Amino acid sequence: MEYNKIHNIKPSQIIKEIREWPFGREKAIESEFWLIQDTKLLEKEMKIAAKNLDFERAIEIRDLIKKMKASKDRDKKRGGCSKPK
């Protein structure tokens, strides 16, 4: 308080807009990218989000990519789907 008086600083309230709760958005990301099965395209989208400083979105896309890769690995272990000849 003494420092503030000496330098004529008056404390003020920080006013910010209320941001959306980041948890629970995973379903929104999954529904947005449900059709895309190309992990390279998703990785590109993730890098764009990170470049735009939208780190929550980048993390959600990264988690979706991990989930897709894990699902593909599980399918391979089970024998996967056979392609029609």
* Ranges of each domain in the chain: 19-77
Structure tokens at 21: 């709760």
Task: Inform me whether the pLDDT recorded for 84 exceeds 60.
Answer: no
Task: Inform me whether the pLDDT recorded for 13 exceeds 60.
Answer: yes
The gap between the terminal CA atoms of the chain, to the nearest Å, is 79
Please state the rounded mean pLDDT for residues 43-66.
91
Per-residue pLDDT tens over the stretch 21-49: 655 565 667 667 766 778 888 899 999 99
CB 64 within 8 A of CB 42: yes
Res 34: pLDDT: 66
Please state the rounded mean pLDDT for residues 61-74.
86
